[in-house]
Amino acid sequence: MSIVKPIALLVALLALLVALLACSVAAAQVHMGVEASEFRARRQAVIAAAPDGIVLLHSASAPKGWSDAGFQQDSFFYYFTGLENLHDAILAIDGPSKQTWLFVLPPTSGRQRGISTALTGWDAGYLQVGDVTQQLLGIDHVVPWEGFTEFIEARRKAAPALVLYLDQGGEGKMVADVSNPPGLAQIENPFVLWAAAIKTKWPEANVMDAAPIIKPIRAVKSAAEIALLRQAARYTDAGFRAAMAAVAPGCTYHEIEGAAVAGAMRAGADGPGIWPEIKSGTVTVFQKFWDYHLQNRTLQAGDTVSMDLGFSHELYKGDVGRTIPISGHFTADQTEVINFMDEAYHAGLHAMREGVSGDEVIQNSIRYVTDHSQALRSELARHAAAQLLKPGAWVMYSHGIDAVEIFPIGQMHAGNTIAYGPEFDVDGVRFYEEDVSLITPNGHELINPELPYKANDIELTMAHLKHARPMEHCSSLRLLF
């Protein structure tokens, strides 16, 4: 009897340990809503697409800025590793050998040791090399990055024609392409610096841009990615509705931005995917990237304000835009523009499906404008129609981890997530409308919860939100300070 009980206890403990280990392994196989097998499949897709070379992706290495919501991993590096926090690392996806290598700076001293005590596993800022990490990530080799140059030299010796594919920036990455006079190395653009470092070390190497290989893979979203995008869209919707409730004459852009951030963060967002863009009157699309004050104007009665918001969930971003009446009601002329713009917009949306090109969608919207502009009554609406006939008035790009992933859009494929809508100003009045759509074989589905489109519906929603959230009006918020 005295022997049986310890044996039974031992068996029970072993069963518990096995169960705990199974739970631990299962937990390790899913990170941020994406299974580890999906990250491996993405790397395998690159191996298949780059049989002549090695794709080399550098992690972000600098910490977040004091003004940033959180550390922002390089999007290509994250997409193929799932490592949102890893610093000082290089992923090598070797097409000819069909092997993957992760070169890391181990957590041995100083900053690395301090960060590693709090961040471990998938969340690590610095990783230990060896079998345990390899098994966790499904990467063939996790080794110290001191061996990176020796690895490249050995691979180039074995295959002299080997191509080194690098992320060299490009569309969607708003970085300084020119940050020094001619003859001096650039100081702002990390993608230029990465390519320059490789070319300096191996001047005879065949270096090419990895984007044409990687972007088509990233463009088709998996079910897990779509779920992440829908959650980001829900947070964005919460921020947008909070901003709508705050819009009123006398408010500043920054007060509306603050209401949007508060609403989205209260709902659970990780932070802004794009800083809330609040614009009225005539303001260029890219002015915000160079203007410290972001044109912080005061909203005027009778005017409209266009709002473009996107908040993040596990690096994936929301994106939605509408035009809002500052006084709570559009004028008759503005109403005509809003409704006409929306009908042209939906004419384009209805054309979205697998196999259709981005230009076909835009032309479908323009065709609606051409066919129906004769019925417009107001001068403002007729001027708006003239703007909507210009392809440049229609914004379209693919969307996901980056706010802008591919621009311009070529042929659409099932699984693409496309942001689309009109943006223009006419006679000093700003108009804008945008959603993100998932392309399907036979059409499209909205990623974001549906916000109102027609002028009357926008007014009713705005009134309802102001009634439900009276303290979110900016003048009411001022009373709290």
Tokens 């300070």 -> residue: 481
Residue 472 has a pLDDT of 62
The amino acid that residue 399 corresponds to is H
d(CA 89, CA 61): 8
Residue 290 has a pLDDT of 75
Between helix 358-372 and helix 379-388 the angle, nearest 10°, is: 150
d(CA 477, CA 346): 37
Domains, in order of start, for the chain:
32-218 (3.40.350.10), 220-478 (3.90.230.10)
Mean pLDDT confidence for 269-287: 84
DSSP-derived secondary structure letter, 357: B
Nearest to 167 by CA among 42, 60, 272: 60
Q: How far is CA 210 from CA 18, 58, 103, 191, 446, in A?
A: 43, 12, 18, 11, 30
Contact 353/437 with Cβ under 8 angstroms?
no
Strand segments (E) across 154-229 = 163-166, 206-209
φ, ψ for residue 396 (rounded to 5)?
-150, 130
Q: Which residue has the higher pLDDT, 378 or 191?
A: 378
> Is residue 478 very low, low, confident or very high in pLDDT (cuts 50, 70, 90)?
low
d(CA 300, CA 327): 8
Give the lowest-confidence range in 6-20, 35-49, 437-451: 6-20
**Cα–Cα–Cα angle for 297, 303, 309, rounded to 5 degrees:** 65
d(CA 210, CA 208): 6
Could you read off the pLDDT of 339-390 as tens digits, one per residue? 999 999 999 999 999 999 999 999 999 999 999 999 999 999 999 999 999 9
Q: Is the pTM of this model over 0.85?
A: yes
Other beta carbons less than 10 A from residue 317's beta carbon: 28
